[in-house]
Chain A
Amino acid sequence: MPEPLLEVRGLCRTFGDVRAVDDVTFTLPDGGSLGIVGESGSGKTTTARIVVGLDRADAGHVRVRGQDRTTQPRGRAERLARARQIQMVFQDPYLSLDPRTSVEAVLRETLELHRPGTDPAPRIRELLDQVGLGTRAADALPRELSGGQRQRVAIARALAVEPAVLVLDEAVAALDVSVQAQILNLLADIRDATGVGYLFITHDLGVVRCVTDDVIVMRRGRIVESGRTADVLALPNHAYTRLLMDSVPRPGWDPHAIGAARRALRNDDTPA
């Protein structure tokens, strides 16, 4: 059996008394797209940060094509190799770009770090084209761009090193709905074109339905449900998944019933 693209086994992380991530296990196949859903505080962002290496796990491991990346990287070569394994697009495009650095400079920095000695200009044009930004945007500073444009820059930056896995941490949450749709389409196109695997961290079930093949539902650091996205959303097994789905505002939506369901769920957890 071939190695899965991304394999996460038994990941644990505690902050003080809080078990932010508790025995999380999942795999992402080549070119796959996996959604991690959950409300704020469910541990999905901590999971993402451990996967990309911004945080460390107390236990468990993260492997990309069988190579472990749980320990601290030793030396520059290993650091760069890891950066080429997994890249990340952050939630807030207003904060994830250095306000002083132009679009072109952001991409050039990364390309010069990973491909020293080659002229970055053609690749920069290619990347801007790939994310639907004209070369005119190249000289712009982040503050001169809209949220959607900034997120395109962030995606271009992440794609610059041709990563195997792209982690998208609430990557469309800060954008308004029409721009969300554009970015989601763009991400789908990029996956078709490059075969990159997506790990999609989101609280938005609509987003999950659009762009993921599989989904895991996290609650209080644990995975409560997992499976094909279509199956989970059509027939949720766990009460929490149903609650998340019911929480999406729509006609006939009853916030009081959701509050009651949430309390009932909380009471169920209280150890006897």
Chain B
Amino acid sequence: MTMTLVRRPGLARLRATDRGPLYLASAGFVGLVVAVALLAPWIAPHDPNTVELGNALAAPSGDHLLGVDAAGRDTLSRLVVGARTSLLGPLGVVVFSTLAGGAVGVVAGWRGGWLDSLLSRTTELTLAFPGLLLAILFTSVYGEGLLAPVVALSIAYLPYVARLARSLVLAERERPYVAAYRVQGHSGTDVCLRHVVPNIAPVVLAQCTVNFGYALIDLAGLSFLGLGVPALTPDWGRMVFDGKSAIQSGYPLSAIVPCLVIILTVVAFNVVGEHWADKVAGRNR
């Protein structure tokens, strides 16, 4: 059987680093963070909310590997348990914004005409509104909790996904295979749902992974401002907020560790997402 190989020379350098150390490390880190979040209650060495005031701001020791924060809580345990809220929030944002944004973008791109104008202009209206501001507005109206900022950020991220999906559908619908299915008598909706959507899905999903990183940092930022996650819930952004007074007293560890974890996680998700996006974009068609 003859194989056809189509290579894009411009991507050759990227391809050489196809399974480069950076990607492997990032993928490993993402896997680790997810595993920690899933297994948190079993692997956390201490109760994240147990207060040992006598031990406050203790340096790392055998009992407290990453030290203790100003309120006397074990930093490692808060980090491990905090992975749950810190990942759950962005997950909600990504799932909702992808489903809703994808649906809007696909309908707009596929149907075109006035519906496209209506949907595209409506979603772009939200672009005029900064996502964080929207989230602050939502939390101030609906009070504390993860749901309000997640919904707000989902709405803020929706237009980006919608735009991407729309442009992909616009390119995909001009492909001759779509015309071929129409000639075969398949209805437009059928062709769109069974062929166009699965063909654009990998690109949208790769973009979602990148969005996950951004959502994580936005939500951590909100927690740092004291919005969203309730005060006692372990959360990475909240930990940075709680630890900032300790920095002033010369004990930066309880704030720096969650900062580092946030940054590493965001970078890891971005690297993995970009890698997948490159991969599906350079895919042989």
Contact = CB atoms under 8 A, between A and B. Distances in A.
Interface of A: 52-54, 76, 79-80, 82-84, 86-88, 90-92, 94-101, 109-110, 113-114, 137, 140, 143-147, 149, 154, 157, 161
A133 to B, nearest CB: 11
B187 A90 contact: no
A100 B4 contact: no
Question: Which of B1, B3, B176 neighbours the largest number of chain A CB atoms within 10 Å of its CB?
Answer: B176
Contacts, number: 80
B255 to A, nearest CB: 48
Interface string B180-223: 11111111000000110011000000000000000000000000
Question: Which of B2, B177, B181 neighbours the largest number of chain A CB atoms within 10 Å of its CB?
Answer: B177
Contacts of A100: 195, 198-199
Given A95-B177, A99-B199, A99-B285, A87 B183 contact: yes
B285 A97 contact: no
Contact of B185 (A80, A91, A146, A154): A80
Interface of B: 1-4, 175-177, 179-187, 194-195, 198-199, 284-285
Given A110-B184, A144-B3, A90 B176 contact: yes
Nearest to A91: B176
B177 A83 contact: no
Contacts of B183: 52-54, 83, 86-88
Contacts of B175: 95
A149 B184 CA distance: 20
Contact of B184 (A76, A101, A113, A147): A113
A116 to B, nearest CB: 12
A154 B194 CA distance: 18
B15 to A, nearest CB: 17
A192 B187 CA distance: 32
Given A80-B185, A95-B175, A99-B199, A143 B284 contact: yes
Contacts of A95: 175-177, 285
Contacts of B182: 53-54
Contacts of A82: 185
B177 A149 contact: no
A145 B177 CA distance: 16
A98 B177 contact: yes
